[in-house]
Structure 1
Amino acid sequence: MNITKKDIDKLNAVITVEISKDDYAGKVEKVLSDYRKNANIPGFRKGHVPMGMVKKQYGKAVLVEEVNKLLQDALHKFLTEEKLDVLGNPLPKNEADINWDADDYSFEFELGLAPDFNVDVKGNEVLQYKIVADEEMLNNQVKTIRKQYGKLISKNEVEKGDEITGTFTSSEKEIEKKTTLSTEDIAGKSQLESLMGAKVGDMVSLNTKGMFADDHDNQKYFGVAHDDAHGLDIAVSFKIEEVNKREMAELNQELFDKLFGEGVVTSEEELKKKIKEDAEGQFAQQSDQKLLNDVVDSLIENTKFDLPDAFLQRWIAVSGEKKLSEEDAKAEYERSEKGLRYQLIEGKLRAENNLQVTFDELKEYSKNMIKAQMAQFGQNNPTDEELESIAARILSNKEEVQRLSEQLNTNKLLNYFKENAKLKTKEVTYDKFVKEAYA
């Protein structure tokens, strides 16, 4: 057997595998001999079928199978030993021209080679958001807590700040939705005026247009579909069934203990500090995800290299369950090219900076996750034996291993970017972050 590689250019090559009769003859003879021993052919005792008959019936199929086995093993070994970084899989080039009646065979395969390139994470500045909980947000959170733990006082007439329970109806959109809303939820001036002074049992006519600041609230309060919620402009009737005034809870030690446990918070100042810590901890996750997305986009845009486009389009055309037309394969390649580029960039970063996840890291990560979950249920001091036992059970599940590996891989990459990328930090409130990041 002889294998050679001919470079077409830096991204394309052809491998030729030459297989002679000496390479496969012994294997074919052995398989046919086994067939002969076990063949059940009418007129012959088992094991006494003439070899000529066996070869005539099975010879060509066995030959093709054994040669293909040799071929695949040789290809795999060659690619591994030569350390060729290929994209996709080798594509047969002369498959239709093989003469299986000959003794010797020559197979050609096209290769798409991964490009050689450098990744510079410091080359382009990326904005990193630091989301802070400002005083307005903290005051609103305190107000929300006081409302949530306050008392409801039943009333008969609607006044500003009250909570109203009732049913919206409309024949036009087939609405019949019972809901509870506060007058503070209503942004429309005319709708608010129509409700002021209304009494339990009254039927109030309202228009949905501009009733709420966010059209998505139309889903919540009217029960309409998402597509109908945007720009909803219809007349609805609102039957008032209950009116309540919410008396806000006092900020005292009883409330603090109920919220955070005995003695953890002892003043409004400490309450705001705790709210700020918790909120900014959650904000950090969103900021990190935004940073990761932006660094990835920057790397894809600014890391320049060519790909074996024509080869990859041919490979896409034949690699799926259903063969694609040239036009469909080209379209599919254009859709997947950005992802392929990032796979190559990420692979290079991981290989050059030792960012691969080891089993020991995965085990430690799972133990820390278990410890955090147990703490939520008041189990703050699990033994190492307990953690080891639970971690072993989790890591015996392939799906869990994959999920945790993806999380840890993402964390390692994110930390690498934070330490090495050229970042510009911008401090913003959460509302401003949402407007800027997801505009």
Structure 2
Amino acid sequence: MNITRNNVDALNAVVTVEVSKSDYAEKVEKVLADYRKNATIPGFRKGAVPMSLIQKQYGKAVLLDEVNKLLQDNLNNYLVEEKLDILGNPLPKVTEDFNWDVEDYKFEFELGLAPEFTVDLTAKNNLVKYAIVADDKMLDEQVARIQKQYGKLIAKDTVEEGNDVSGVFANEEKGINNRTTLSLDVFKDKKTAKAFMGKKVGDVITLKTKGLFDDDHKLMDFLAVGHDDVHGLDIEVTFTIDEVVGHELATLDQELFDKLFGPKVVTSVAELKAKIKEDAEKQFAQQADQKFFNDVTEFLIANTKFDLPAEFLKKWIQSAGENPMTAEEAEAEYAKSENGLRFQLIEGKIITENNLQITFEDLKAYTTELIKKQMAQFGQMNPTDEDVQGIVARVMSNQDEVRRLSEQLMNEKMLNLFKDKVKAKAKEVSYDEFIKAMYGELKH
């Protein structure tokens, strides 16, 4: 068997595999001999069927099967030995008049080659790494929320100051029909809250969406409309009241603090706010990290320049799935997946160049820490090592879980690398400002 390669250009190659009779004849004969031993054909004893009949009935199919096995094995070995970094899989070049009646064959395969490129994590950029601070406004709101949550609810007939109202926002033309509960201090204009005063269950209030809240994004929650629809939304909606609730606020005393955090962990309102701030900023840090990761990813895709064997990949996409695609469908699919493929290549290079490969021991240690944290959340603060490792073993016997955890761990390694290498501008923001930054509405 002879395998040769012709590099069409830097991103495309054609591999030619020449198969001679000596490569496959012995294997074909052995398979046919096995068929003969077990063949049952009327007029002949089992095992005594003439080989000419076996050859006539099964010969072509066995030949095709054995040659195909040879092709796959030898082509795969060739790609490994030549250290060829390919995209997709080799595509056989179709020959309409291919002749299986000759003894020697020639097969051609198209290859899409991975591009050569460099990744510069230290390149100049306009990225921002946000640190989200729980400001006094947020802390006061959280304390008030806790007092409401742990206070007593009192059903009311009529809306009064400090009440919450539940009901349905509706606008038939825009398809809005969303039940929600809101406190009257959520509105931007105090006149809006006053419009609710004295109203009863069943009453309908008409409101304008423009300037209804201090932040248009709140329309997403209260009206259940998409982000693209909220900016400049200027329509009338009705709010039909179906419940009015008053609150007897919980007292900020030691009994409440102990209920929230355990005995004597918090002993004053100042400590309560400090604890809320600490817990909130831990959660915010995860959100800020995710945005930073996403922003660096987008930056790298946009600024790491390389070509792809696009035409090859479109042809490969056409034939790769269970159901073949049309050229137009493959074009659309390629457009959707191109950035994902680009980052896959960028990520692979980053992993290789920075030795971020995950070992079994890495994954086991990561899983162990996750299990311990989960057990702690359910009150098991000091589990035995035997219990933990038993759970770890069960989790790691599940291939889907191993794949998911590996992705999490790699993302964590990549994030830490980005924090270390990518020189982004640090910026402290409130949570409201961070939400605006998420949607590209906060100026750097």
Following superposition, the deviation at residue 116 of structure 1 comes to 1.1
Q: In the TM superposition, what whole-angstrom CA distance separates every residue of 1:95-125 from its partner, at most 9, and x where no partner exists?
A: 4343111111111111111111111111132
**TM-score normalized by structure 2?**
0.88
| Contact persistence 1:132–1:430 (CA under 8 A) | yes
Relative to structure 1, the CA distance from residue 150 to residue 12 in structure 2 (aligned partners, 3 Å threshold; closer, same or farther) is same
2:40: which partner in 1? 40
Following superposition, the deviation at residue 355 of structure 1 comes to 1.1
1:209: which partner in 2? 208
Candidates 233, 236, 256, aligned match of 2:236? 233
SS in 1 for 2:236: coil
Unaligned 5+ segments in structure 1 are none
Q: Give the stretch that moved more between structures: 151-160 or 66-75.
A: 151-160
Unaligned 5+ segments in structure 2 are none
Q: In the TM superposition, what whole-angstrom CA distance separates every residue of 1:151-170 from its partner, at most 9, and x where no partner exists?
A: 346666543213456x6699
Q: Give the stretch that moved more between structures: 172-181 or 355-364.
A: 172-181
2:296 pairs with 1:295: yes
| Contact persistence 2:131–2:428 (CA under 8 A) | yes
Q: Distance in 1 between matches of 2:29 and 2:49?
A: 15
Amino acid at match of 2:115: P
Q: Distance in 2 between matches of 1:325 and 1:172?
A: 40
1:88: which partner in 2? 88
Amino acid at match of 1:279: A
1:121-270 to structure 2, matched below 5 A, reads 121-125=121-125, 126-152=127-153, 158-164=159-165, 181-187=182-188, 191-198=192-199, 204-210=203-209, 213=213, 226=225, 233-235=236-238, 238=241, 244=246, 246-270=247-271
1:278-293 to structure 2, matched below 5 A, reads 278-293=279-294
Q: Give the stretch that moved more between structures: 8-17 or 73-82.
A: 8-17
**TM-score normalized by structure 1?**
0.89
Following superposition, the deviation at residue 322 of structure 1 comes to 2.6
Following superposition, the deviation at residue 23 of structure 1 comes to 0.9
1:12: which partner in 2? 12
Q: Distance in 2 between matches of 1:322 and 1:153?
A: 60
Q: In the TM superposition, what whole-angstrom CA distance separates every residue of 1:354-400 from its partner, at most 9, and x where no partner exists?
A: 11221111111111111111111221111211111111111111221
| Contact persistence 1:168–1:175 (CA under 8 A) | no
SS in 2 for 1:195: coil
Q: Distance in 1 between matches of 2:412 and 2:100?
A: 54
1:420: which partner in 2? 421
1:364-403 to structure 2, matched below 5 A, reads 364-403=365-404
1:105: which partner in 2? 105
Following superposition, the deviation at residue 219 of structure 1 comes to 8.9
How many equivalent residue pairs? Answer: 432
Following superposition, the deviation at residue 323 of structure 1 comes to 2.5
| Contact persistence 1:395–1:401 (CA under 8 A) | yes
Relative to structure 1, the CA distance from residue 105 to residue 181 in structure 2 (aligned partners, 3 Å threshold; closer, same or farther) is closer
| Contact persistence 1:194–1:204 (CA under 8 A) | no
SS in 2 for 1:257: helix
| Contact persistence 2:87–2:114 (CA under 8 A) | yes
SS in 2 for 1:24: helix
Q: Give the alignment's Cα RMSD to 1 decimal.
A: 2.9
Q: In the TM superposition, what whole-angstrom CA distance separates every residue of 1:36-80 from its partner, at most 9, and x where no partner exists?
A: 111111111111111111111111111111111111111011001
SS in 1 for 2:305: coil
Q: In the TM superposition, what whole-angstrom CA distance separates every residue of 1:289-308 from its partner, at most 9, and x where no partner exists?
A: 10111111111111111111
SS in 2 for 1:25: helix
2:115 pairs with 1:115: yes
Relative to structure 1, the CA distance from residue 170 to residue 372 in structure 2 (aligned partners, 3 Å threshold; closer, same or farther) is closer
Following superposition, the deviation at residue 178 of structure 1 comes to 8.3
| Contact persistence 1:160–1:184 (CA under 8 A) | no
| Contact persistence 1:362–1:408 (CA under 8 A) | yes
SS in 1 for 2:89: strand
